[in-house]
Amino acid sequence: MNRSEFITIDFKKLSAEERLNKGFDAIITYSDGNNTILEKQGYRATDFPLDELQLFFVNNTLMLPNEY
């Protein structure tokens, strides 16, 4: 992964149709905030309570959207 001072971390649970097509229950996408995907990770099972979550990693600090 390229080093960036600003990284967005997007968690998304997939719909039933997407789960069948991709073989994952959820995907976490790491990007530079300008729609350049740095890494994408699929998870076959999750019990995370939210359908979506976005976090920001800025200057070695992980933040919620309302903290940025």
pLDDT tens digits for range 51-60: 999 999 998 9
Per the structure, the complete domain to which residue 25 belongs is given by 6-67
Report pLDDT digits (tens) over 20-37: 999 999 999 999 988 899
Determine, yes or no, domain membership for 45.
Answer: yes
Report pLDDT for 3: 62
pTM: 0.82
Q: How many C-alpha atoms does 31 have within 13 Å on its Cβ side?
A: 11
To the nearest whole number, what is the mean pLDDT of the chain?
Answer: 92
Determine, yes or no, domain membership for 42.
Answer: yes
Determine, yes or no, domain membership for 14.
Answer: yes
Determine, yes or no, domain membership for 1.
Answer: no
53-64: buried (b, 16+ CB within 10 Å) or exposed (e) per residue?
A: eebbeeeeeeee
Q: How many domains does the chain have?
A: 1
Determine, yes or no, domain membership for 63.
Answer: yes
